[in-house]
Amino acid sequence: MRKNEGINVLALNGDNMTQITLSVVEEWLDSHPEQCQDYFLRKIELDLINKWLVSHGFLNINDYISSATSTSSSGNVSPANGLAVQQVSPATSPNAPSILVNGTNSLSVSQMYRSNSKRCRRHDFARAKTRSVLRQQEIGKDVPICSSRRSSLKDMRKFTSLPPSPISMLSLLIDSKVRLPRWPVSAHNVDTKRDLRHAQGERDFFLTVVRDIATDLDLKSLSQKIVDDLAVLLDCDAGSLFLVDGPPRGSRRRCLVSKVFDVHSGARGQFLLPDGVQCEMAGGPATTTDNEVRIPWGVGILGHVASTGETVNLDVACEDPRFDDEVDRIMGYYTSSLLCMPVKNSYEEIIAVAQVNNKNPDKDGGHFNSMDEKLFETYLQFVGIAITNAQIVEDSRAEYDRNRNLLEVVHDLFEEQTSIDKVIMKIMQRAQRLLKCERAAVLLVDESCDSTRFSKLFDLNSPKHNLKNNVKNSRQKVEGENVSRYLESLAERVACSGEVLNINELECSEGIIDSGINSLLAMPIRNKNDQIIGVASIINKLNSSPFDDYDEQLFEAFTIFCGLGIHNTLMYSEVEKAMARQKVSIEVLSYHATASNKDVERILGMPVPAADSLNLYSLAFDDFSLNDDEMLMAAVSMFLELGLVKTFNIEKETLYRFLITVKRNYRDVPYHNWRHAFNVAQVMFAIMMGRDMKNTFSDLEVLGMFVGCLCHDLDHRGTNNSFQEKARSALVLLYGTTNTMEHHHFNHAVMILSSENLNIFSSLSAESFSTVMKVLKHSILATDLCMYFQLRNKFFRLIESKEYSWDEESQRYMLMAMLMTSSDLAASTKQWHVQKRAARLVTDEFIEQGDKERFELKIQPQALMDRERQHELPQLQIRWIADICLPLYQALGQMNPKLNVMKEGAINNMQQWSKLVDENYKNANGEQK
């Protein structure tokens, strides 16, 4: 009720909201603590919480978590316990906050603070190695050394017998022996340091701040201390420190980076510009996403000092032409006096540039004098030592992280071996994250081509890069295509020569205009035989720097791992294929059997009917007019009428045994069975003999096409290619996702033809055998509708233009494919009672597949396979004939008018299906009425 009442009071006073003062609002908040707390919990942001903590003398959230982690890992605080933050009484320390563990042990922040959790874990792991792995207490003086060793070995055996995890394995592989010193967090801000300077004197204060920076090995906190110390030592308004970044060779590839940048002492702890704001004007600094401020080499006073090593002391900074007031204009600050000096290491190399602004106007007229320069130079000598030590520690930490990442890559290689795509993408993701680049790409060489071509491209963009890609305009899309061609040309160069390409921004701009590529590193990927199997590339470091020698060494390790991953995956794939081949062979052998001698003897005794007596020459042949034995004898009759038995010396018993075996190798499915195979062969026979098409092809081609009709659906399982892919069947593992079932049908035909007493091609020469097998494979693969869709537009244009010549092999093979498809789909051209019955059988088979998809694969089947939509069969048949069948028969009729009967039959069946649609519509309306 109190909450509602508060809302009503504000609503009633809504007209006078502009008259309410801050004191009134505060009074209301004090009197309504529940509403105040509720608003705080709903609206507060992390930045405001951090500001409150800092203003009350506590650590911010990130520093607190880091310090808590370090303390808990060292054994003082358990991460599971509740941690209460409480300020220390002034009697203890006026400036240092503390953390209470469960309200008891008080630990100062200087004891707890450790800024990097990975370093903490490494340090604690190194300490833990001094004890046995499973020891409950430390070994004292009373325990003999030999027994302690035996106990340690025993415990180690227990430990190693446990199931290893990736984390434990990686931890054992990387055993850091380096103990990094801890450094405390300085509890002094600029104001307290000024008071401390007055209390201690300049000499003692100088020694204090030097000792303070000597123990800090974190570049960010060290930079903050140096900036604060400079402001106090030189009694000025602001200080800044810029570190030299980039390789030592070539100033063009270097820049100055500031971890902490202050424009005046009152802005302590704040960066120059907020996140995401870019300031890339000429000579001006630019901020990156991690709040670093960068200045190009040689630009401005800072760049001049960094490149020349000179000291710059200006009484009026704005009068110097090298001074850039970009920062002043952004922040509303005015720089009058300025002192800038380089920071050098023990080798007299410039590693940083320090600058102080606006001397205290009450001293020396607000100008930096020679004594200030001397003090500045003396302090910067210690700064150079501190920065060098911190950079060494940072490099060691980075090396440790890189080694761990490389070991994790090795773990990924052995964890994922089922897919080249997954292996490469995992390695690319780690390479992109570790090398901090915008984009990574891998191109695999196509080994089937003699020239250097690529079969696969893997391209991975950073989230920032993807965001830019999502808002591309048309001009940028064109540029993106240019970039792809440019990358492909570089990859071809690397694949051919085996060289490593490290291209900087200038070289990129010479290769392509407005490409967005600032730097590129490309390396070859090799297999175990040192052959180049691909090219890996990384593009654009996130800090806009070129790739250096260290990046090359690290990326080379990634390319080696990538090659190993590809090799392992290919080997695993071969093993999978072998297992799938074995599984399919076992299935086939367990389900099928060759023709028995009894069956052959029985068929041999039957008379062979004449082809015309069975109406085999007609395209209107009734598909359901013959039984199984009659279809076998009709097939023998067609072999004889085509002249294949005589031309190729096919033995009678071999032919009979072959036909019986083919028949038995068709499964008992509703439609794609032996009857369908025979009907397809009959249509092909009618086209060849009854429509004068036999002379278009050679005898070998006729043999291959006719046998292909009989074998084109061998071992059909009643499911299509799409189902095999969805179910990830053994056939997909064996043949892939392209023409899956058709490849299986062909290989099954080859298996039959390779069996003893079944090879009807045994009398052919090696050259003729090769030709007929080529035609056989082409004919069976052509029955896949995907192949038909790929060829039909080209075939239709060829027929319409009447520029075809069947003497040309490529055009003749296209005609073979079209005739195979027309024979396979010929049920749509038969008499209405045949068409209707065939359509029902097809539907029954499709519905069985739909049920498997619904209940086994848990997916929604297509309309023609959905049992709940059987009433839509007439509409689906009309669409099937109109879209797929009729265009083909129209083109064949245009080529050979004797084939127009197929077109007419298809049109007639469409009309019959339309009548059923009308009847269903009338019945549905009648039921509604």
Structure tokens at 438: 């915008």
Structure tokens at 762: 């045994």
**Pairwise CA distance, residues 278 & 263, whole Å:** 17
In the chain, the amino acid numbered 327 is: V
The CA-atom distances, in angstroms, between 411 and each of 415, 417, 567, 808 are 6, 11, 15, 55
Structure tokens at 783: 């029955």
Number of H helices, E strands in the chain: 36, 15
DSSP result, 76-102: SS-TTS-EEEEPPPTTT-SS--EEEET
- Contacts made by residues 327-333, CB under 8 angstroms, sequence distance 24+: 327/263, 327/272, 327/284, 327/285, 328/263, 330/272, 330/273, 330/279, 331/263, 331/267, 331/272, 333/263, 333/264
719 touches 732 (CB < 8 A): no
150 touches 135 (CB < 8 A): no
CA terminus-to-terminus distance, the chain: 59
* Beta-bridge mates of residue 352: 243, 343
Helix (H) or strand (E) holding 438: strand 437-445
896 touches 691 (CB < 8 A): yes
Environment class of 363 (CB within 10 Å of its CB; exposed 0-12, middle 13-18, buried 19+)? middle
Mark whether 672 is an active-site residue.
yes
Query: What is the SS3 assignment for 573?
Result: helix
704 touches 774 (CB < 8 A): yes
490 touches 446 (CB < 8 A): no
Residue 19 has what DSSP assignment? Answer: G
Phi, psi of 238 (to 5 degrees): -150, 155
Instruction: Return the number of other C-beta atoms located less than 10 Å from residue 303's C-beta.
Output: 22
| Inter-axis angle of helices 370-415 and 117-128, nearest 10 | 70
845 touches 718 (CB < 8 A): yes
The widest CA-to-CA distance across the chain, in whole angstroms, is 128
257 touches 272 (CB < 8 A): no
Active-site entry in 465, 672, 748, 778: 672
In the chain, the amino acid numbered 150 is: R
Which residue in the block uniquely carries the two structure tokens 């702890």? Answer: 269
9 touches 3 (CB < 8 A): no
**Pairwise CA distance, residues 241 & 122, whole Å:** 30
The number of CA neighbours under 13 Å toward the Cβ of 302 is 29
CA 39, 45, 48: angle at the middle one, nearest 5? 100
Phi, psi of 355 (to 5 degrees): -145, 140
**Pairwise CA distance, residues 8 & 283, whole Å:** 56
Query: What is the SS3 assignment for 913?
Result: helix
Handedness of CA 208, 210, 214, 216 (dihedral sign): positive
Helix (H) or strand (E) holding 532: strand 532-541
319 touches 338 (CB < 8 A): no
Active site residues: 672
